[in-house]
């Protein structure tokens, strides 16, 4: 690890020329140890950011310093935001969930192995150097199938951000040039020609709050995650879904995919197929087809297109028929007993 200076609040006040922010440290410290990131000044945000969770006018306002564990266990999240609870629980081990903050978790970096090992060429780590993930013989099995570019095919690895995008979340930020609100779907950028610029945040801009609408569709939700092993693994494909039903007619819905996109992948195309329609098996399968219609899988990732369609259809049908899984069912699903 390259030597660095650790500063503390109030040096962490948003500042375009300021230090790199450290929240829970579960991504930054990891990448510093690998020499992937080498900041010379790091500001620890613990004690500086709000950790409060409050319901205000039909929205849940969450301080960015709140841990993943604290948000997952909040009574309002348990009762009215099941997809958020599921995504947080399935995201990581208890140790990580107790350290990682929700603001930091939105900004976690890709798990592309060619990014995380400095002997490989990577446009995200070193702009313009190339992309060894796209060379002959590379292992691309965990890469993205939606939103890729010639410069980068890495997928966004997180779970919580997928549920957050599905449910129409927004973030509030602080910056010396002005605070602002950014929708969850606008926070992450597509890689295009600049994969090293992952979000729309300006240098020194700090996420201060996360805001989640509390809607009937959000209260009837699920985050369904498929992975290589039954715990502590990143999604091969996942679906964050929410349905408001009038009988078997969908009055509103939320759909986003994880594990397959270069960013958390909300699908307005799939939502449009279902909204206002009967939630028949055929309609749900059409929505799943629509969600993956733009897939452009790199060689070795083709399986993810089918997997993501089936994951989404499974999640929607199960939610239609049985509602959100309780914790016992979620954990049974997590360990694979109901995936035949």
Binding residues (CB under 6 A) for ligand SF4: these are 110, 112, 114-115, 122-124, 131-133, 152-154, 195
- Minimal distance in Å, beta carbon 198 to ligand SF4? 10
- Minimal distance in Å, beta carbon 258 to ligand SF4? 17
Q: Which is nearer to ligand SF4, 121 or 283 (CB)?
A: 121
- Minimal distance in Å, beta carbon 100 to ligand SF4? 21
Q: Which is nearer to ligand SF4, 83 or 153 (CB)?
A: 153
Q: Is 300 left (phi over 0), alpha (psi -120 to 50) or beta?
A: left
CA angle 16, 20, 22 (to 5 degrees): 135
Q: Which residues in 145-168 are b (16+ Cβ under 10 Å) and which e?
A: bbbbbebbbbbbbbbbbbbbbbbb
Neighbours of 51 (CB within 10 A): 16
Q: Is 178 left (phi over 0), alpha (psi -120 to 50) or beta?
A: left
- Minimal distance in Å, beta carbon 224 to ligand SF4? 26
Neighbours of 69 (CB within 10 A): 18
Least Cα distance to 149 among 191, 92, 115, 111 occurs for 191
Q: Which is nearer to ligand SF4, 49 or 155 (CB)?
A: 155
- Minimal distance in Å, beta carbon 124 to ligand SF4? 4
Contact 148, 262 (CB under 8 A): yes
Report strand pairing: 221-227 vs 5-7: unpaired
- Minimal distance in Å, beta carbon 115 to ligand SF4? 4
Which DSSP string do the residues of 125-153 spell out, in sequence order?
TSTTS-BGGGSTT---TTS-SBS--SS--
- Minimal distance in Å, beta carbon 30 to ligand SF4? 15
- Verify cis geometry, omega within 30 degrees of 0, for the bond prior to 229: no
């Amino acid at each position: 690890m390259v030597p660095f200076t650790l500063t503390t609040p109030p040096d962490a006040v948003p500042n375009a020329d300021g230090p790199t922010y450290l929240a829970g440290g579960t991504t930054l410290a990891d990448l510093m140890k690998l020499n992937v990131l080498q900041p010379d000044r790091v500001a620890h945000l613990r004690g500086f950011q709000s950790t409060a969770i409050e319901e205000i006018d039909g929205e849940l306002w969450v301080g960015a310093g709140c841990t993943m564990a604290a948000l997952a266990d909040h009574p309002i999240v348990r009762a009215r935001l099941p997809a958020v609870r599921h995504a947080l629980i399935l995201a990581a081990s208890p140790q990580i969930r107790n350290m990682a903050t929700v603001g930091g978790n939105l900004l976690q970096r890709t798990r592309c192995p060619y990014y995380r090992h400095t002997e490989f060429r990577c446009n995200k780590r070193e702009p313009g150097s190339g992309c060894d993930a796209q060379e002959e013989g590379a292992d691309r099995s965990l890469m993205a199938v939606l939103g890729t570019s010639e410069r980068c095919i890495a997928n966004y690895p997180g779970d919580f951000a997928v549920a957050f995008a599905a449910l129409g979340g927004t973030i509030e930020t602080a910056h010396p040039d002005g605070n602002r609100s950014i929708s969850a779907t606008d926070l992450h950028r597509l890689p295009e020609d600049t994969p090293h610029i992952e979000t729309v945040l300006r240098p020194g801009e700090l996420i201060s709050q996360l805001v989640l609408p509390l809607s009937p569709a959000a209260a009837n939700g699920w985050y369904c995650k498929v992975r290589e092993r039954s715990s502590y693994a990143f999604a091969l494909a996942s679906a964050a879904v929410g349905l408001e039903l009038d009988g078997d007619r969908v009055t509103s819905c939320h759909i986003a995919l994880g594990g397959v996109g270069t960013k958390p992948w909300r699908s307005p195309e799939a939502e449009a197929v279902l909204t206002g329609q009967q939630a028949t098996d055929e309609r749900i399968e059409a929505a799943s087809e629509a969600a993956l219609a733009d897939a452009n899988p790199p060689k070795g990732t083709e399986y993810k297109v089918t997997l993501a369609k089936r994951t989404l259809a499974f999640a929607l049908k199960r939610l239609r028929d049985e509602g959100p899984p309780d914790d016992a069912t979620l954990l049974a699903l997590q360990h694979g007993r109901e995936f035949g």
